[in-house]
Each structure stands twice: as C-alpha cells, then as structure tokens.
Structure 1
Amino acid sequence: MRLMTVAELNNYIKEKLEGDLFLNNIWLKGEISNFKFHYSGHMYFTLKDAQATIKCVMFRSRCSNLKFLPENGMGVVARGRVGVYERDGQYQLYIEEMQPDGIGTLYIAFQQLKEKLEKEGLFDQKLKKKLPRLPKRVAVVTSPTGAAVRDIITVLHRRCPHIEILLIPVAVQGENAPPEIARAIEMVNAYGQADVIIVGRGGGSLEELWAFNTEIVARSIFASSIPVVSAVGHETDFTIADFVADLRAPTPSAAAELVAPNYLELVQRLAELQERLVLGINFYLQKNRNRLEVCMKSRVMSRPMDLIQSLVQKLDYTVARLEQAMRGFHREKASRFQVACAGLNNLNPLATLERGYAVCRDKVTGSPKTTISQFRVGETVEIILRDGLVDCTVERTEEGNS
C-alpha cells in the first residue's frame, strides 16, 4: 500500500477533473450568493439552487467582458470549467463568461451555433465577397412594413435615383421567419438579376431578432453567390447573420448607404475626370504642336538639300581617302614584293653561274661534288656552265686550295 500526502491526493483529483472533457466546458444555471469583488479585479462567489452550491471564481481578464454587474440573489447562466484549488482541497467552477438568467437559454444557443459555424469557416474573412461599386439592382429581403424597409428605400433613392430595388417581403420574426428568409435569398440567387442583397430588419429584443441567429439563415447567406449585406437591429445588436454576411451594416439605413453610391458625388467625379481629360489632351496637343513648329523652323525642314549636299560632300571625301589609302596599300605591297624577289634571286644558283662559276656533279647520280675526296681519277663528271654543260674525265686530283 502506497502512502500519499494530502498535496499528492489533491493534485491527483485535480488532474482527474481537469482531464474530463465534459467538465472542461459546461453551462451552469444558478443564483449568486456570497459575492465578493476582490481589489485584484477577480470575482469570488457561490452559485446555488434549491439543493446544492458550488464555489466559483471569475478572473479579471474575463470580468472585463461582462455587460452587467453581478450581485447577490441574481440568477445567472455561466460557462466555465471545473477545477481544484489544491491548497484548500475544494473543487470550484472557473467561469469564462456569464449572462443574466433571463436570456440564458437563447444566449447559450447563440454561442453554440456561433462556435460551430466559426469552426466550419463560415466567418472566414478570405471568403467574403466584395460589393459592386455601381450596382444596377439591389434586392431587399425584409418585412414589407415597418421603418426598416422605408429607410432602405429612401436612402437608396436619395443616393442613387436610377438604382432598381427588388423587394422580397418576408416575415422577420416568429417560427416562419427563418425558412422564409432563407428561401428569399435562394430565390434572388436563382433569379440572378440582383447585384447585391440587403437582409435585415429594425431593432428589437434578442427574441425578436432570433430569426437571424438561426442556422438555416446563416447557411443560405453563406451559400449566396451574390454579395450579402446584413442590417439587423441597431448598432449594438450582433447576430449570426452579421458574422456570415459579406458585410455587416450597423442599421438598415447604413446598409443602403454602403450599397448605393452617391449619385451627385459620381456626377461631380465624372465632371472632374472629364475636365482633367480635356486638359490632358489639350496639353498633349499643344506640346506636340510646339515640337512641330520647332521642327518646321529647323534648317533640315527649311533647306533639306543643304543636309543632302553636306552628306554627298562627306561621301566624296571618304571615297577619295579610300582610293588614296588603296593606292598606298598597293605601293607598299609592290615594294615588299620586289624586295622579296631580289632576295630570292640572290639565292638562285643560276645567278652564281652568271658570275663565272660552274657546278660539278656526278655523271651517273647527278649529285653535286663539293670536295676533292669525291673525285676518282679516270671517272667522267659533268660540268654545268652558264649556257650548258661539259663532260670531263678526271686525270689528276690534288688536295689544298689552288
């Protein structure tokens, strides 16, 4: 049997509790008691119901997101994880977020759907479609009565009188609202004539806006090939439709402002561009007209033959220099040829014979005899002279110079 310390036991229990996936993210409903707002910014209190209590702590980083001030006796719905405070050996709920109990169920459903769709990528900014700069037709999916549709139509006509409005009347609250809104978005896409879709309604409570927090509406917006602007409630209201839509407008009027270009501003902008275009063309024409005038006044244009005659003279001078160079080249080559011929003539053996010398060679082999040892008494040799040859018989040989 292993003997454990108290610290080891508390740590073991902590690991068991914090390793449980279910206990890592639970929603809990209860009433606040023993509330204490610590000077550090942390909140400590107990959640209780008729049968039990549990210690709770909400750290300062999470408290900053609260939209209400908790107090004793208040019913709340909280989301958090169960853990163990080892020093005291007690388990407690570490709260991540908390809402008053009155909207707890809807808020939990909102958060759960938001987390689900976000994981699937329906909120990905990279998938958002850009709104057209100059839409011709705007589809409005909303209730046919009420201030929202009037505001949208008024702003669209004021900003751009030529824009066409395609009104798709739907219920915006109640059980029929979600499927009607989804079908309307699908119908606009099937029709294919709208450039942008505005989906929304005026302000209201969370329950009244709930149609825009449903999965069917969210998926229909995401599936739309036409850009969708969500305009639900007031500026402080956020719905699932806002996160899925290509653009969120704080109010229906603001949606119309974002969708429709200001007609007067466009006209003014076009006038400015037209003016700039005319000025640019006039400047370009004047610049080239000035260049043409300068060219026409130049010597080349006024007396073109001067340039031609100058070039002809330059050509004649170049030809003359070329001919002179060729003659000098020929003289040099001829002189070098004569010198080479003279050198070759000096080496010519016939030239030696012209000076009175003779060549003696063997009668049989024809090889020249240059030394006394090559001669034998009685043999016949040939003597080559300037103008012929003579056969001679050797009668005597004598060494030494004569």
Structure 2
Amino acid sequence: MEYPIVLGRRIHLAPKYITVSQLTYALKRVIEDNVSLEGVWVQGEISNFTRHSSGHLYFTLKDEGACVKCVMFKSQAWTLKFRPADGQAVDIQGRLGIYEKSGQYQLYVDIMEPAGLGQLYQAFEKLKTKLEQEGLFDQARKQQLPPLPQQIALITSPTGAAIQDMIKILHRRRPNLDILIFPAKVQGADAPQSLIKALNEAARFRNLDLVIIGRGGGSLEELWAFNDEGLARAISDFPKPIISAVGHETDFTIADFVADLRAPTPSAAAELAVPDESALKRNLANLQKRLANTVQQKIQSYRRDLQRLKSSRVLVAPEQGLNIRRQELDMLRERAVRQLRQDLYAKREQYYKILGKLDALSPLATLSRGYSITQKADGTFVKNSDLVENGEMVKVTLAMGVLSCEVKDKYKGSQLK
C-alpha cells in the first residue's frame, strides 16, 4: 500500500509503518478536504513580509497566540489596492494547504485588505456601481485634452510634494505655460468640500484649458476624499477637461473613473498635460527641413520637365508636326472618298438587281406583252366568263389606258355562247 486510505475524517493507515510523504499527504488531504476551511477569512498582523522578484508575496500572519505562513501568488497580488508591510493588520481570505517539501501548513491567499476597511471597500464599490449605471464613466462623456494648453489649473495641497513635482515638470516642458494654483485640502472630512470649492473657483476662469486634480500617495483612508460622490459629480459637470492624479499607480479612486483622463501619479499627469516644448521645436525643425527638401525636389522635377518640353520637336519645329498631320489628313480624306465610292457602286448594283426582280413580278410588265385586266363595276376581278352577264359593263385595264366595255357575248374556251 503506497498511500493511506482516507475515509471521511478518519485515516486508515497500512500496518507497521508509512513513509513521511504518505503521512504528509494524509494530513494534506485532511486539511484540504475540510469544507469548513474553504474560503476561510483570517485576521492577523503581517510579519516577515517579502515581495519576491517573481511577483509572489511571502509573509507570516500572526496574533498573540499563533502564526501561520502565507503565500499570495502574483495573479492575485496585482489586484491589491494597498502596499502590505510588516506590522500591518489585515483581513485575509484563502484556503489552507500543506507545502509537502517543508511539511508546513500554510494559507494560500486570494484576497487581502487592511483590517477594518471592509466597509470602506463596500462603500467604494456601491458608489462606483451607482455612478457607472448613471453613465458618469462613459467614454462618450470624456473631453479630449487640448494639444497645446496655454493655461492649466492645479487643485491640490499647496504644501505637498506633488505640487512641487508638477510645477517643475510643467515649467520644464513648457516654460511659458500659465499655471493657476487652487489650494485645497486633500484628506480628512473637510477635503471633499474643499476640492469642490476649488473646482468652482477654477470654473470662473474662461481662458482655462485644463485642470489637474489630485495628491500624492497615501493609505486608503488618506485618499478617501477622492471617493466622495459630490466631488465625482462636480468633476463630471466641469466644463473643461480634468486629469485625475491620485496616489500611486496601484491606487484607484472614484475621481479617476469620472475624470476625462486618469494619470498614475501627479508627475505623470504633468507629463500628459502638456507636450515637451523642446521636442515640439525639434519636430518643427525636422518638418521644416523635410518641407524644404520636398519643395526643392519639386522645383528640380519641374525644371527637368520644362527643359524636356523646351527641347521637344513640338515646340522647336511645330510646323513639321503640323505638316505631318496635314499629310495624314489628306490620306484619310482620300481613303474615305474611295470607300464612299465603293459603297455607292455596291448599293447601285444591289438596287438594279432588286429593280429587275420587281419588274419581272410586276403586273405592268405582263400588260406590256398584250395582256389586260378586267374588273366588274364593283372592282371584282373577272377571272372566268361565268362571272359576268351579257350586257354588263366591265373595265379593261391595258398596258396603256383603260377601256369601258359592254359584254355582248361570252365564250367558254373558243366557243361563242
């Protein structure tokens, strides 16, 4: 017997002894087949946290009385909304298993969130669903960023590092850019109203081209002001394009979904907001050079065409070409006359043939040979002497002239009646 037989919760082992692998496998089956441990939620404190180069997370979850090894694979780790660290209290959902190589049981983590933040996540998802159903996230509502903004507003904390980074990048990329700063609180209970007030102030500037709203990184609670429904609606209703730049690349807020463009960081927002002026100048210089080369090539091409036309026989000796065309015209005229004569001769011969046939069939030709046509008064042709009576008037048509005759006698054959 290579492995123990597992029946329900009881393990029936083979007699005498089993191997370590068999024992570990039996325990693994007991743990992994336990339905009550599937998708279990565990709360504890992170220690010995390690982010492997492969993207997997390894750490220990502990409390006052015990600890358990935990693994979160890369496919689940990339969905995290925060950065785990030693000493952080977290809520974890996963499944128990045994890593047979070390013989240790461990928790394979599917979901991890800061302890006590479950209600915040639920509120976030609820508001996100609500606004999405209202269409506030639709791409059709998004405004295009201006290609060369002249005036940009920054709505953020005036004392944070984010505003300094954005101003530095904006001035480097566009030295003559007009930057308006609207100070606002970016965390705390008063932050949403402060941000809305700053947006209302910015809306008064008609020459404003673009707004960047955001802050640097922080915890979920610190970024929570940007998940406010009122702020989301203010961003959606703003008349100018807005770039949302809240936290780090892994941080997502409601403001990011409502804004016309989401930037992963405030620095990235400044990069996206304006093109690099020096790069524009280089591109413009390249375009001017290409345009000059194209124009020069066109001029050279036209010059060659002109020279070719100037040396062509049509322009150098136009009379020669005309004489050739005149000669060709005379030949064509003579050919046409010959063809016309041939066609006339053929038509005349055809006419004579048809005329001869008509003469052979014409009754006039018969009359010219001494025959006549006899008709009664009603126009009936007399083909038989029985058709007329003695004394009846008939009309006799000759080759030349018509006779009006009275029937005196009738004959049948050569006999007189």
Among candidates 128, 137, 146, match of residue 160 of structure 2: 146
The answer as to whether partners of 1:42 and 1:63 remain within 8 angstroms in 2 is no
Among candidates 285, 297, 314, match of residue 311 of structure 2: 297
SS at match of 1:191: coil
Q: Which residue of 1 aligns with 2:255?
A: 241
- Cα distance between partner residues in 2 of 1:216 and 1:60: 36
Distance 1:377 1:227, change over 3 A: closer
- Cα distance between partner residues in 2 of 1:140 and 1:196: 9
| Residue type of the alignment partner of 1:254 | A
The answer as to whether partners of 2:42 and 2:91 remain within 8 angstroms in 1 is no
Q: Which residue of 2 aligns with 1:182?
A: 196
The answer as to whether partners of 1:170 and 1:184 remain within 8 angstroms in 2 is yes
Gaps of 5+ in 2: 1-30, 45-69, 95-108
* Aligned residue runs from structure 1 range 2-401, under 5 A: 44=40, 97=111, 99-101=113-115, 104-105=116-117, 108-121=119-132, 122-124=136-138, 127-345=141-359, 399=414
| Residue type of the alignment partner of 2:197 | R
Deviation, structure 1 residue 383: 10
Distance 1:313 1:206, change over 3 A: same
TM-score normalized with structure 1 length: 0.64
- Cα distance between partner residues in 2 of 1:253 and 1:173: 19
**Deviations 1:244-284 (Å, cap 9, x if unpaired)?**
33333333222211212111110000111111111122222
- Cα distance between partner residues in 2 of 1:327 and 1:281: 61
The answer as to whether partners of 1:359 and 1:368 remain within 8 angstroms in 2 is no
**Deviations 1:2-45 (Å, cap 9, x if unpaired)?**
xxxxxxxxxxxxxxxxxxxxxxxxxxxxxxxxxxxx67996657
SS at match of 1:220: helix
The answer as to whether partners of 1:380 and 1:394 remain within 8 angstroms in 2 is no
The answer as to whether partners of 2:374 and 2:395 remain within 8 angstroms in 1 is yes
SS at match of 2:203: helix
Deviation, structure 1 residue 226: 1.9
Distance 1:325 1:216, change over 3 A: same
Please say which of residues 123-132 and 216-225 is displaced more in the overlay. Answer: 123-132
The answer as to whether partners of 1:200 and 1:233 remain within 8 angstroms in 2 is yes
- Cα distance between partner residues in 2 of 1:270 and 1:257: 20
Deviation, structure 1 residue 361: 6.6
The answer as to whether partners of 2:368 and 2:399 remain within 8 angstroms in 1 is yes
Please say which of residues 141-150 and 161-170 is displaced more in the overlay. Answer: 141-150
Deviation, structure 1 residue 120: 2.3
**Deviations 1:68-127 (Å, cap 9, x if unpaired)?**
5999xx9766899xxxxxxxxxxxxxx9855443xx25x522441343223421444554
- Cα distance between partner residues in 1 of 2:230 and 2:260: 17
The answer as to whether partners of 2:376 and 2:395 remain within 8 angstroms in 1 is yes
| Residue type of the alignment partner of 1:289 | R
| Residue type of the alignment partner of 1:147 | A
The percent identity for this pair of structures is 38
SS at match of 1:229: strand
Distance 1:206 1:308, change over 3 A: same
The answer as to whether partners of 2:377 and 2:395 remain within 8 angstroms in 1 is no
SS at match of 1:231: strand
Q: Count how many residue pairs are aligned between Structure 1 and Structure 2.
A: 334
| Residue type of the alignment partner of 2:127 | K
SS at match of 2:182: strand
Deviation, structure 1 residue 294: 1.8
- Cα distance between partner residues in 1 of 2:221 and 2:377: 143
The answer as to whether partners of 2:187 and 2:222 remain within 8 angstroms in 1 is yes
Gaps of 5+ in 1: 1-37, 49-57, 81-94
- Cα distance between partner residues in 2 of 1:63 and 1:167: 39
Distance 1:363 1:208, change over 3 A: closer
Deviation, structure 1 residue 158: 0.7
| Residue type of the alignment partner of 1:160 | R
Deviation, structure 1 residue 396: 9.9
**Deviations 1:300-335 (Å, cap 9, x if unpaired)?**
222222332222222222222222233333333334
TM-score normalized with structure 2 length: 0.62
Please say which of residues 285-294 and 137-146 is displaced more in the overlay. Answer: 285-294
Distance 1:99 1:346, change over 3 A: closer
Distance 1:317 1:208, change over 3 A: same
The answer as to whether partners of 1:227 and 1:246 remain within 8 angstroms in 2 is yes
SS at match of 1:171: coil
Deviation, structure 1 residue 141: 0.7
